Amino acid sequence: IYNMDCRKVLPWLGKFDLLLTDPPYGINYAAGESTQQGIQKFERIKDDDKPFDASEFLIHGDAIVWGANNYAHTLPKGIGQFYCWDKVCKNGLKVRIAECEYAWHQNGTKPRVFRHLWSGAYRASEAGQKAVHPTQKPVALMRWCLSLVEDAATVLDPFAGSGTTGVACKLEGRKAVLIEGVEAYCESAAKRLSQGVLF
């Protein structure tokens, strides 16, 4: 785990089999400003107030990057596929959150959908566990991503947040390098990865 700006360390790391990440989308997401009772308060995501250009990160081998619909104009044309994470798994469900999220897979050959409920207290996994990052993904989602690239022995996450990609890699027997610019999230990731039982 590196606690620094990923752009400063990436040139020294060489190639990886897979870049799997959930970067800041450039949408200035305000997770901490909800007034709804019981909703966790978070600081704003670092660098989410600036446009994100995925192209500078697509030089490390294969890549799966989340939030890709927000910066699709920076992705290579004519290659890859979009994936969808269906977070509510039911038509017409009244929720505050987006019903789905999109990823782009550089070596993807067909669109895919991962159906996994993740709406407040209603979760298909990690029920009752508090998130430590405002856009924290379920471990099950990142394990699904890894299952799509079975031969990826080394995985890079340059926007590691609370370390979910690292946890998924540990559970799947993959090697991972995590980079995160916020020290508190690095500490959370290290804590999660040191636990015998992972979520």
97-126: average pLDDT: 89
The SS3 assignment for 62 reads strand
CB 138 within 8 A of CB 126: yes
pTM higher than 0.85? yes
Q: Give the pLDDT confidence of 143-196 residue by residue, as tens digits.
A: 999 999 999 999 999 999 999 999 999 999 999 999 999 999 999 999 999 876
How much of the chain, in percent, has pLDDT values that exceed 70? 85
The pLDDT value recorded for residue 36 is 43
Query: Residue 16 burial by CB count (10 A; 0-12/13-18/19+): exposed, middle or buried?
Result: buried
Confidence band of 75 (pLDDT split at 50, 70, 90)? very high
Confidence band of 135 (pLDDT split at 50, 70, 90)? confident
Q: Give the pLDDT confidence of 36-69 residue by residue, as tens digits.
A: 444 555 666 776 678 888 998 887 789 999 999 9
Please provide residue 78's backbone torsions phi and psi, each rounded to the nearest 5 degrees: 85, 0
Average pLDDT, the chain: 86
Closest CA to 167 of 126, 134, 106, 128: 126
Q: DSSP string of 11-40?
A: GGT---SEEEE----SS---GGG--STTPP
Give the DSSP H or E segment for 44: none
The SS3 assignment for 161 reads coil
Closest CA to 135 of 30, 54, 58, 64: 30
Closest CA to 158 of 60, 73, 68: 60
State both tokens at 38.
């019981």
The pLDDT value recorded for residue 38 is 47
- Three-state SS annotation for 66-125: ECHHHCHHHCCCCCCEEEEEECCCCCCCCCCCCCEEEEEECCCCCCEEEECCEECCEECC
The pLDDT value recorded for residue 40 is 57
